[in-house]
Amino acid sequence: KNEVEQSPQNLTAQEGEFITINCSYSVGISALHWLQQHPGGGIVSLFMLSSGKKKHGRLIATINIQEKHSSLHITASHPRDSAVYICAVNGRHRGSTLGRLYFGRGTQLTVWP
C-alpha cells in the first residue's frame, strides 16, 4: 500500500468548473506538497503546507493533520490547468536530517474548453 493515496486518478472537467483533488497519507509528516507536472514533463511546486490553508490565484490547498488528508481546489478551471497534480509528503525520518518525500501516483486533470 502506498503511503500517499490520491483520488481521483483521472479527472475531466469543463472550463469554469470547480475542481477538487484529494490526498490521504498514512505516515507522520513534517509538511505536505502539491506539485504540478505539465505534459512536457516539467514538475513545479505549487504549495508546501503543514497546517490550515494556502491560496495562490485560483488554487487553494488545505490540510487536516488529524484526518491525514489534504485537498487541492482549482476554481474557475481553464484548459491550461490540464496537467498531472502530485501530492507528496515529507515523512518524519527518525535519526536523519532528511524528511524524505513520499509521492502519490498523481491525478491527471483534463479541462475542456
Partner 1 sequence: NAGVTQTPKFQVLKTGQSMTLLCAQDMNHEYMYWYRQDPGMGLRLIHYSVGEGTTAKGEVPDGYNVSRLKKQNFLLGLESAAPSQTSVYFCASSYRTSGVGTQYFGPGTRLLVL
Which residues sit at the interface with partner 1, rule CB under 8 A? Answer: 2, 4, 30-31, 33, 35, 41-45, 48, 86, 88, 90, 97-106
Of 22 and 99, which has the nearer Cβ to partner 1? 99
Of 110 and 112, which has the nearer Cβ to partner 1? 110
Smallest distance, partner 1 to C-beta of residue 17, A: 26
DSSP state letter for 80: G
Phi-psi region of 106 (alpha: psi -120 to 50; beta: other; left: phi over 0): left
DSSP-derived 3-state class of residue 13: strand
Smallest distance, partner 1 to C-beta of residue 67, A: 21
Of 53 and 105, which has the nearer Cβ to partner 1? 105
37: nearest Cα among 103, 90, 82, 104: 82
CB 111 within 8 A of CB 10: no
Smallest distance, partner 1 to C-beta of residue 86, A: 7
Q: CA 20, 21, 22, 25 torsion: positive or negative?
A: negative
Of 17 and 103, which has the nearer Cβ to partner 1? 103
